[in-house]
Amino acid sequence: MSQVISFETAREMYDSMLNECNPMVKVGFLEFDPAYALKELDPIAYDVGFSDYCSDLESDDIFVGDE
């Protein structure tokens, strides 16, 4: 049975996946979550990755849209 999740929920899941699968980004003495760093430094790559992530969710019958 398929499931529909909100755009915001999908984005939170994507950010969590990025943060769990990648080390913290270090700049000098500062550390940033990987999702935050990617979103701020290369928003196009972030959006493309999010789009791919949503497509992968569809293969598990999880669709992004209005709940």
Q: What is the pLDDT along the chain (67 residues), one digit of tens a residue?
A: 789 999 999 999 999 999 999 999 999 999 999 999 999 999 999 999 999 999 999 999 999 986 5
pLDDT for the residue 1: 78
pLDDT for the residue 30: 97
pLDDT for the residue 35: 98
* Token pair 């598990």: residue: 60
pTM across the whole model: 0.90
Q: What is the largest CA-CA distance in the chain?
A: 48
pLDDT for the residue 67: 58
